[in-house]
A and B are shown apart, each in its own frame.
Chain A
Amino acid sequence: MAIDLTRMRGGEKGKVIDIQGGWGLLRKLEALGIMQGTEIVKVSSQLMRGPITIRVGNTQVAIGFGMARRIIVEHKK
C-alpha cells in the first residue's frame, strides 16, 4: 500500500517509491541518502504535525511534516 511518511506508524518499515517535489527537494533528500528505492524505518512523529524521524541505513533523519508528506512509501506491515 502506498502512503506518505506522515501516515506510517512508529516501527513500521517501508520503501520510498516516489518523492513529490521539485529538483530542490529531491536534491536535499538525496544528500542524506533518501531517494526512490531507499528502505526506511519510521522511528517517531512529534505531536501537532511536528517533524517525522526515520531511520535510513545507519542514521536517523528528522524531516519536517510538510516535506514528509511528499515522500511516498510502499508500506510493509
Chain B
Amino acid sequence: MRKVLLMGNPNVGKSVVFSRLTGVNVISSNYPGTTVEFSKGYMRIGKEKVEVVDVPGTYTLEPTSKAEQIAVKILQDSIASQNGIVINIVDGTNLERNLNLTLQLLKKNIPVIVDLNFWDETRHLGISIDVEELEKILNVPVVPTCAVTGEGIKELVDRLPEAKAMTYDYPDEEKWHEIGKIIDRVQKVTHRHHTFLEKLADASIKPLTGIPIALGAVYIAFKLIRFIGEGLIGYVFDPIFGKIWAPLMMRLSFILGSGGFIHDILIGKLFVGKIDFGQSFGILTTGLFVPFAAVLPYVFAFYLVLSFFEDSGYLPRLGVLADKMMHQVGLHGLGIISMLLGLGCNVPGALATRVMETERERFISATLMAIAVPCMAQIAMIVGLVGKYGAKALMLVFGTLFLVWIMIGILMNRLLKGESPEIFVEIPPYRIPYFGALTKKLWMRVKGFLKEAIPFVLLGVFIVNILYSLRIIHFLSKLTGPVIKNLLGLPSGAVAALVVGFLRKDVAVGMLVPLGLTLKQLVIASVVLAMYFPCAATFAVLVKELGVKDMIRSALIMIFSAVLVGGLLNLVL
C-alpha cells in the first residue's frame, strides 16, 4: 500500500491536516512537539486506499531530538521502499524558515506536494505570497489551506497525484541564499499595526508583566477546574446516583437476597441496610461511582481548561517564565508541559518527555512525574476524601508532594551524570482556540479516560473482593504489618489499598474510606499512594520509554522515597 507522509516544522498543523484527510482524530495543540508518536490512518486517492502517517514535526532532516529522529527514520524507510508521497506542510506565516525543510525534502528521491497552511492567518498578517510563482520555482504543486476550517483540503487531495520528486537542486552551502532569492520573488509584507493578541503575547513573556499574568492564569485555571468539577458532581452526578441508581441497585440487592458471594461482588456490603457508594465496593456500586461520579467531573474540567491553554499558545510562554525553577530540578522550562499533561494522566505525560533532547532529562522528568505528580483521577479522590477536613488538610497532601518534587528533582540533578541542555524553542503566536477543535479534543480525552479507566476500575474492585474472600489481604497484612504499622503509622488493612494501587490509584484511594483513618493517617496514606509506584498503565509506558534498566532505577527511587517521606510524615505530624 502506498503511504502519504505528512511532514513539516513543529506546530504547523500537521495533525489537523491528518484528521481532515483520514477522519481519524489525533490530539493537536498550539505548541511545538504535541505529536511525539506517529499516528496512522487511511484515505482514498481515487479508488486507491493509501496509508497516511502523521510524522512528528522537524525543522531539518538532521535530527536533534528523539521525536525528530523518529521523523527522519520514517522518511528514510519510505524512500527505501519507493512507495511514499510527502505532503510538506508549511506555515505560510513563516515561509522563509519553513522552506529550509522543503528544499531538503525536494532533494530526496520521494514525490513532494506543498501545503501552504494557516492561509487565512497569513493574509491577516499582511503577508502576500504568490502561490503560482512559488509553484513554478519549486516545480511541485503548492496548495494554500486553512486546515482547522477545512478550506483547501479538497484541492490538496485532488492534486496529490501531481506530486514530484527531486525538482529543485542547489548546492547545500547555498541553501539559505536560495531561500532568500525565493522569498524575494514570491513574498510581499505590508506593514500593519500590532494586534491585541500580539501585545498580550509580548506582555506575557516579559517578567514584570509575565509573572503576574502567569500567577493569574494558574489561579483562574485552578478555580475553574474546581467550579466545574464540583458543579458537575453536585448538580449532575450525585443526583443521578442518589436518586436513580441507588433505588435500582437496592432492588437488585433485594433480588439477590441481600447477601452472598454474587451479591457482594456486584453490590458489595450494605451499611445499615443501605448502599454506600463510597464504601460498599461492589462492581455496580462503588465500581461505577468512582469513575463516573467522583473522577469524571474533574477529568472533564481539567481537560477543558488544559485544552484551552494548549490551543491558545500559552504553555511555551509559561515554560520560558518557569525556566529558572525547572533548571533546579535538571530540566528546562518546557519540562513543565509534560508535568501539566501528567496532572491529567501520567501516560501522555510520560510520552511527552520524548521532545526532550537527552536521556538524562527524560529519566528525571519521568521519575519526578511518577513520584510527585498525581493524576487527576487520584487528585479527585484525594479531594473527595481529605477535602472534608478543609483546605489546610489538602495543602498538607499536595504541599508535601510539591516539596518532594523539588527535593528529589534537586537531588537527581546533583547526582546524575551530565548536564541538562538549555531551553531553545519557538514560541507560537497566540491563537483564539477554535471551538470545534477544542470540543473534539476534549471529547477524545474524556472518551480515552473512560475507555482506559472503567475496565481497570471494575477489575480493581473485582480483585479487591477476590483478595478479601480468599484471605490474601489478610495474609499480606500480617506480612507487611510491621512496616505499614510501625513506620507509616497506618492500620494493616491499608496494605490492600497499596496492592490495588498497582492497578488503579483512584480505586486505591477509595479503599481508604472504609478504614476509618484519622486525618494524619489519611494524609500519609494519600502521599504514599501517590509516590510509591506508578499505576499499571503508566508503568507499561515507562518501561517502554526508559528501558528496563532505567525503570528499575526509577522504581527504586520511588519505593525508597515513598517509605522515607511516609515515615517522616508519621514522625512530624
A residues neighboring B (CB under 8 Å) = 10, 27-28, 30-33, 35, 43-51, 53, 56-67
Offer 17 A-B interface pairs, CB within 8 angstroms, sorted by A. A28-B424, A33-B100, A35-B176, A43-B202, A46-B320, A46-B321, A49-B324, A58-B93, A59-B427, A59-B428, A60-B205, A61-B424, A62-B427, A63-B422, A64-B332, A64-B423, A65-B422
| Closest 10 pairs (CB-CB, A-B) | A64-B422, A31-B59, A33-B97, A60-B427, A44-B206, A62-B320, A31-B60, A50-B324, A64-B423, A58-B93
Inter-chain contacts of B125 with A (CB < 8 A): 58
B486 lies within 8 A of chain A by Cβ: no
Q: What does the 1/0 interface line of B449-461 toward A look like (CB < 8 Å)?
A: 0000000000000
B323 close to A28 (CB less than 8 A) = no
A57 close to B332 (CB less than 8 A) = no
Which chain B residue lies CB-closest to A46? Answer: B207
Q: How far is the CA of A35 from the CA of B173 in the complex (A)?
A: 13
A62 close to B97 (CB less than 8 A) = no
Inter-chain contacts of A51 with B (CB < 8 A): 320, 323, 333, 422-423
A66 close to B422 (CB less than 8 A) = yes
Which chain A residue lies CB-closest to B325? Answer: A50
Q: A60-B426, A62-B427, A64-B424 are in contact. Are A47 and B59 (CB under 8 A)?
A: no
Inter-chain contacts of B426 with A (CB < 8 A): 32, 59-61
Q: How far is the CB of A71 from chain B (nearest CB, A)?
A: 11
Q: How far is the CB of A24 from chain B (nearest CB, A)?
A: 8
Inter-chain contacts of A27 with B (CB < 8 A): 60, 62, 64
Q: Count of chain B residues with Cβ under 8 Å from any Cβ of A?
A: 35
Inter-chain contacts of B60 with A (CB < 8 A): 27, 30-31
B238 lies within 8 A of chain A by Cβ: no
Q: How far is the CA of A64 from the CA of B320 in the complex (A)?
A: 9
Q: How far is the CA of A47 from the CA of B332 in the complex (A)?
A: 15
Inter-chain contacts of B425 with A (CB < 8 A): 61-62
- Of B96, B206, B423, which is within 8 A of A33 by CB? B96
A64 close to B323 (CB less than 8 A) = yes
B82 lies within 8 A of chain A by Cβ: no
Inter-chain contacts of B316 with A (CB < 8 A): 62
Q: How far is the CA of A28 from the CA of B427 in the complex (A)?
A: 16
Within 8 A of A (CB), among B162-212: 176, 201-202, 205-207, 210
- Of A10, A28, A47, which is within 8 A of B324 by CB? A47
Inter-chain contacts of B469 with A (CB < 8 A): none
Q: How far is the CA of A44 from the CA of B127 in the complex (A)?
A: 25
